[in-house]
Amino acid sequence: MTTVEKIQSEIKSLSPEEHAHLRVWFFERDWEQWDRQIEKDVESGKLDFLIEEALAEKGQGHLKELQGHLLLKMKVASFRSGLVHMMSINE
């Protein structure tokens, strides 16, 4: 039996509450990995083209001014929180 098969077997034996907790843990872990990858891509300059495109669009008057970076972070955090909540109540 492979490690994955053993883990799958253990997951099947979890209570609904434990299973919901595990799903939330996986979900948060995936977001953390995504965040680290984005940070790495930003630091390496891999996403610089997005900044250039945004500045060009702004220069042409196609973008709205945001109320700061905090607004975007709040929307992302709210979205994540909502997904985690939905995942835990759907168990």
Query: Is the full-model pTM beyond 0.85?
Result: no
Q: Is residue 77 part of a domain?
A: yes
Whole domain around residue 39: which residue ranges? 16-89
Give CA–CA dist 6/20, Å, rounded.
19
Q: Is residue 33 part of a domain?
A: yes
**So what's the pLDDT on residue 87?**
59
Q: Is residue 60 part of a domain?
A: yes
Model confidence over 70-84: pLDDT tens digits?
566 666 666 666 655
Q: Is residue 49 part of a domain?
A: yes
Only one residue has tokens 């610089």, namely 48
Model confidence over 4-60: pLDDT tens digits?
999 999 999 999 999 999 998 998 999 899 999 999 998 999 989 988 998 898 889
Considering its fold, how many domains does the chain have in total?
1
Give CA–CA dist 23/43, Å, rounded.
30
Q: Is residue 10 part of a domain?
A: no
Q: Is residue 81 part of a domain?
A: yes
Tell which wins on pLDDT, 90 or 75: 75
Q: Is residue 1 part of a domain?
A: no
Q: Report yes or no: 22 and 91 within 8 Å, Cβ to Cβ.
A: no
Give CA–CA dist 22/28, Å, rounded.
10
